[in-house]
Amino acid sequence: MKPLLTALTLTAVLAGLGMGCRKPKTADQTISSVDLLATADKQMKEGKFNEARLTLRHLEQYVPGSAEFPRAKLLLGDSYFFQPSPSYPEAEVEYTSFLNYFPRHERRDYALYHRALCHFSAIESAERDQAETRKALEGFQQLVTESPGSPYVREARAKIVQCWRRIAEHELVVGVFYVNTYFYPGAERRLKNLLETYADHVDRERAYYYLGEALRQRLLSDEELTQFNKDHAAKLKREDLRDLSKDEAADYNKAVAAYAAERVKVYRTEAKSYYQKLVESYPGSEWARRAADRLVTMGSGGIKEELDG
């Protein structure tokens, strides 16, 4: 038997559907959830999204136990998602509500996919925070994991790749910013992590070049100097390096200068290795040409000539 609205609630429902001015034929007139869903579906097709939402809210409020209720919940999400000026945050709320109400529903994959699309549509440029990108990525991955046979999986996989690329680009932009603002230790950490974590999605040409730039210009970091001082104090069997004698201070200055020179040499050698990777892996690119010029100025003769040849 189709779930029916009681006569007591009929007046409110009919008013919401634009029929409040009509006088009921009988005192026990009723309207079914099937009729409500059909009305909402028609309103959606006619582009009357606000009216469709009102109809669906009546169904949601008065007959939540009906067989049409799951479809109504999805249509609520769609009404925000597909309207001329989409409201993706509100659509996301409705799709999430559907998933919470019906965790094993046959159309769960549809809700998962469109919820992820809501986050995907809000992705910022690579220069901005990527919180929405990560939420979209998690949503598409959940769909692929839970419903591998879904017709939405193919598109979800393609968008997963796009999400990874955007996140990788963001990390690269931050690394380049660190180089341009002379924060070379931070740039080195960021770019190395980028190459390791997003190996399949990173723009290696720029990553190699700017990592080389960071290592070519960096000096001893505050963290390295702090650790050196702790180790040197331990050798002197002191808690710190205060109140050093004249001879101890002279020995310290020599030791820290030698350590700094050693570390800088390591940085420069590593910088050359990244420039070399760029030259060998991408010989026709503009970034390879820049890297070759750096190698020449750093004393790696023959590189630019070989590239030109």
The CATH number given to 10-22+30-101 is 1.25.40
Paired with 4 in beta bridges are 32
Q: Which parts of the chain sit beneath pLDDT 70?
A: 1-31, 300-309
pLDDT of residue 20: 42
pLDDT of residue 243: 86
Summarised one tens digit per residue, pLDDT across range 51-69 is: 999 999 999 888 888 999 9
**HEC secondary structure over the chain:** CCCECCHHHHHHHHHHCCCCCCCCCCCCCCCEHHHHHHHHHHHHHCCCHHHHHHHHHHHHHHCCCCCCHHHHHHHHHHHHHCCCCCCHHHHHHHHHHHHHHCCCCCCHHHHHHHHHHHHHCCCCCCCCCCHHHHHHHHHHHHHHHHCCCCCCHHHHHHHHHHHHHHHHHHHHHHHHHHHHCCCHHHHHHHHHHHHHHCCCCCCHHHHHHHHHHHHHHCCCCHHHHHHHHHHHHHHCCCCCCCCCCHHHHHHHHHHHHHHHHHHHHHHHHHHHHHHHHHHHHCCCCHHHHHHHHHHHHCCCCCHHHHHHC
Spell out the domain ranges in the chain: 10-22+30-101
pLDDT of residue 300: 64
pLDDT of residue 299: 85
Burial class (CB in 10 A: 0-12, 13-18, 19+), 153: middle
